Structure 1
Amino acid sequence: MLTYSFSNKGELSLYEYLYRCIRADIEAGAIAPGEKLPSKRSFARHLGVSLITVEGAYSQLIAEGYLRAEPRRGYFACDLSHSGVVPGCKPSFFGVGSSSPETAHPADGNLLPEEGLAQAYASLAAAGRPRGGRIDAGGQSSTSANPSGENSFNGEAVFADFTGSSVPLGMFPYAAWAKSLRDALTRESERMLVGETGFAGAFRLRKAIADHLRGFRGMEVDPDCIVVGAGSQVLYNWLVQLLGRNLHYGVEDPGYLRLSRIYEANNVELSHIPLDENGIDMASVAESGTDVLHLMPSHQFPTVTSIGRRYELLGWASAKGNRYLVEDDYDCEFRLTGRPIPSLESIDSTGKVIYANTFTKSLGPAFRIGYLVLPPALADRFGRELGFYSCTVSAIDQLALARFIESGDYERHVNRLRTHYRSVRDALVSAFQTSSFSERVSIEEQDAGIHFIMGISTDIKTPEVRNSALQGHAMRYRFDDVAAENANDCHQPAG
């Protein structure tokens, strides 16, 4: 049986140290692909640790795609060997995760009868309605599902909005942000406040972002490889200019439809590529002729990419000079159970991953601040070819955000938000699972972040379900909202 000594674990928790040991053995091949691991109880007895320690390690390894669980058979190591890229080329992930081995709780089968959907939403609302307010659960930009941007349906206020990206009311750290802004205005030089920060943004903010990524995502990033811009939409337009409109771009389907529109507006050839159980489908990637693949491997919207598929993707990108992976790491702060899933960039030794993220999910859409982490060669090229651009974020906002991160206030805010979202998730899932219609519902990905997938066993068509939800004053995404009309359609540039 596998044996590990915990004498060298240092300050790591038992579960985190065990997780890292097993992960390293799978990457090195010491645990062979398909090899069965000990049962949780027998492994815990053998190692002399608690059952919850083994459960926590196994749950995280499953979430990252190192292990697979087979009902009534046990736990088996996944195959990482067919990617063409050697696993473990970068240092192991040392991001800040959960301090305790929280374990994932598999969802019971759960959700709605064919009749009374509106009443069901209404009863859920009555059970959980806060006095004098509505539920604002966060999510993707509300304009996709509700283009008017108003939380209303037929002129009536919406009780529960699961489509918006705003920070819940009462959760924004106004006092801490005001202090950061005040300090920026009073302690920075006038030259820093009113002068241009350069095309890539203020160095102080880029350094703060690099430090944050090192601590939270296990990424070793040179601040000179970071480009700051006014949100992801601006940055993606710059990416097309940098990489070229002559390349073929690919996006996930289902995925973020606004992303598709950004690429289409840039008049590039675009393919919508389907997903399978391990992530984006590699056969479809090859068939499409894609050069630049835009994906969300750690937190797909809305459904995660296995570690084996990640190495396949790196192998695919390294096969040709003009291939790149754009890793959109949106919502990475809000994984609700276990450690954050390691970023694709953190295991890339090929220089083919472009990392993108924003502060929209954590601070709200009013903060149009995002950033790219470019491979060194692309960062140099960006400076040469696009360095004439001015940074699209004001110097004052950049310096205030840098201080907000440096002080630790940003991390405290994210931790508070994560706790809030976990409470909202638990209450919502519990309401469904204990309701009279629980046998008609299935819930998946409930630990992934500020979304989960709810399946409804019913013959009612999707538009009817949506309208019933709206009549109950609830707004949420359906797969139609995030899937291209035709998954295999390829957008051809005009002219």
Structure 2
Amino acid sequence: MAKKLRTNSDWSAATPMLPAAGPRRLALYRSLRGLIEGGQLAPGDKLPTTRDIASRFSISRGAAVAAYDMLVADGFAEARVGAGTFVAMNVPQVMLHGGNTAAHPVAGESASERIVPRQDEPPLPGTLGCSTADAATLRVFRMLMNRHLTNPSARHFQYNDPAGSHALRVEVARYLQAARGVVCTPDQVIMTAGTQQALDLTVRALLTPGDQVWIEDPCYAAARELFVASGLQVVPVPVDREGIVVDAGRGLASRASAVYVTPSHQYPLGVTLSMTRRLALINWAREAGAYIIEDDYDSEFRFAGPPLSALQGIDDAGRVIYVGTFSKTLLPGFRFGYLVVPEALRARALTIRRLADRFPSTLAEDALTEFLRDGHFSAHVKRARRRVRAARDALVEALSSSRLMVTSPEQGLHLLAELPDDADDVALARQAMDCGFGTKALSPLYAAGTRRRGLVIGFAGFAPDALSEAARRFVQTL
């Protein structure tokens, strides 16, 4: 039996090494992982308690907990309720040339002579685009996937409808009608591999090179890049506290073919498009014969008051194309989004989908259908909303003592920390990363006009303590 690692002051034979400065959470994670990979900590060894680690290295207990959580998530450790944290019995192996494996490097073997499977670094607290892991949700999905693998439907063995299964589209349409006021039939719903594919289908079905498209300024960079790469003439339209300034858009390109907006929680400024602006935008689209591409990417996460109705639900002229995703609510790796298109565009959008990607995964579709139908999704969103709100509050509190101007957002999964106009937000974003805090500079997200300075910070997918600690480390360097 492997000798257990002592958790009192005498376990220094396998003491992790931490640098004097920098992100302690990541340093502790890497050091402990190195001890495990190198064999100093053997499978089954008990790790020191997080309280002992925190005391010994004068770090917060939250940092120690976060490091242990990463070890567990990456398969290097196992948490046993009531017993503590142990080195995993089957740790990720080092792959040698020829296909053999070893728990640690072979004596005399150089680093260049072995191939180590790459373990992706966990995202830094504050990184955008992360979702909230939920044990109950993962357990339900595992059960549903196992059920469909054990008794597979015949449709898994043939080509599927390019729009996605009818049963799933029924559930998505029902959900959107109840939660967002979207007016649609299941036939108007097209399942996609996330928001980006939905936008790509929309551009190819609706627009031709040279067409003018309004975009919010600042804007979601991946959407802007897609429009430019498609040969469209991008027209940046300023955003103020009420959202996109429709009158400014009219003055810049009154006969544009489309506008791309994020009305529920504008990315990256975080404002909500006012009802006055919503109606003005719809009126312009009717007059110009233009389409509104509504990206409702994180509308499920509203923390105060009822959300405004989706643009699609208040448009009676078929001018709105609605884009949504399960990436923000469930997990990006699930790769499910949806597109709600006017009937006039459906046939062309489906043709493009069929030629480009044939059809969505039937196995995952069936699991998601049951997840929606049986109420699991609504329960998951409620749990995720509570966790995200706690993380948001911890982040705002940690940033409150700095020179950053921070407002606690009432919706969404990110906030904006504003800076003076003469600040270098790009340099500060790099500085934050060096401190183990993931942020994105605001100014590069502008396409034209006056560029405000700030940091865009995500708070979904991180424990409040880990997020708060990373933010405080950064604040101390300002």
| Pairwise TM-score range, normalised by the shorter structure | 0.5 to 0.7
Pair 360,172 (structure 1): closer, same or farther in 2 beyond 3 Å: farther
Matched, 1:206 2:169: yes
Distance between the aligned counterparts of 1:318 and 1:294, measured in 2?
15
Matched, 1:338 2:314: no
2:283 aligned partner, one-letter code: G
Pair 466,383 (structure 1): closer, same or farther in 2 beyond 3 Å: closer
Pair 126,460 (structure 1): closer, same or farther in 2 beyond 3 Å: farther
Which structure's CA Rg is the greater one?
2
2:237 aligned partner, one-letter code: I
Post-superposition CA distance 1:455-489 (Å, at most 9, x none): 2459643234223322321111221243236679x
Q: Is the 8 A contact 2:425 2:442 kept in 1?
A: no
Aligned to 1:311: 279
In structure 2, stretches of 5+ residues that fail to align are 1-21, 27-58, 71-117, 452-478
Q: How far off its partner does 1:201 sit?
A: 1.1
Pair 294,388 (structure 1): closer, same or farther in 2 beyond 3 Å: same
Distance between the aligned counterparts of 1:171 and 1:130, measured in 2?
21
Distance between the aligned counterparts of 2:366 and 2:158, measured in 1?
12
Q: How far off its partner does 1:414 sit?
A: 1.3
Distance between the aligned counterparts of 1:455 and 1:384, measured in 2?
44
Q: How far off its partner does 1:179 sit?
A: 1.9
Aligned to 1:294: 260
Q: Is the 8 A contact 2:212 2:234 kept in 1?
A: yes
Matched, 1:228 2:191: yes
Aligned to 2:65: 131
Q: Which secondary structure state, in structure 1, belongs to the residue aligned with residue 333 of structure 2?
A: coil
Q: Give the alignment partner of residue 374 of structure 2, picking from 390, 399, 407.
A: 407
Matched, 1:482 2:445: yes
In structure 1, stretches of 5+ residues that fail to align are 1-117, 137-148, 489-495
User: C-alpha root-mean-square deviation of aligned residues, in Å?
Assistant: 3.2
Matched, 1:379 2:336: no
TM-score by length of 2: 0.65
Q: Give the alignment partner of residue 453 of structure 1, picking from 416, 429, 433.
A: 416
Post-superposition CA distance 1:393-423 (Å, at most 9, x none): 2111111111111111111111111100011
Q: Which secondary structure state, in structure 2, belongs to the residue aligned with residue 362 of structure 1?
A: coil
Aligned to 1:329: 296
Pair 486,150 (structure 1): closer, same or farther in 2 beyond 3 Å: farther
Distance between the aligned counterparts of 1:340 and 1:383, measured in 2?
31
Q: Which secondary structure state, in structure 2, belongs to the residue aligned with residue 403 of structure 1?
A: helix
Aligned to 1:467: 430
Q: Is the 8 A contact 1:184 1:403 kept in 2?
A: no
Q: Which secondary structure state, in structure 2, belongs to the residue aligned with residue 275 of structure 1?
A: strand
* More moved, 365-374 vs 177-186: 177-186
Distance between the aligned counterparts of 1:219 and 1:308, measured in 2?
19
Identity %, equivalent residues: 28
Q: How far off its partner does 1:169 sit?
A: 4.7
Q: Which secondary structure state, in structure 2, belongs to the residue aligned with residue 273 of structure 1?
A: strand
Pair 186,407 (structure 1): closer, same or farther in 2 beyond 3 Å: farther
Distance between the aligned counterparts of 1:316 and 1:169, measured in 2?
41
Q: How far off its partner does 1:194 sit?
A: 1.9
Distance between the aligned counterparts of 2:61 and 2:424, measured in 1?
27
Aligned to 1:348: 315
TM-score by length of 1: 0.63
Post-superposition CA distance 1:291-327 (Å, at most 9, x none): 1101011111122111001000000000133x10000
1:316 aligned partner, one-letter code: W
Q: How far off its partner does 1:227 sit?
A: 0.9
Post-superposition CA distance 1:248-296 (Å, at most 9, x none): 2222111110111111222222222221232112233221342110101
Q: Is the 8 A contact 1:310 1:344 kept in 2?
A: yes
Q: Which has the higher contact order (CA 8 A, sep 6+)?
A: 1
Pair 150,290 (structure 1): closer, same or farther in 2 beyond 3 Å: farther
| Pairs aligned (count) | 346
Distance between the aligned counterparts of 2:139 and 2:177, measured in 1?
27
Pair 134,262 (structure 1): closer, same or farther in 2 beyond 3 Å: farther
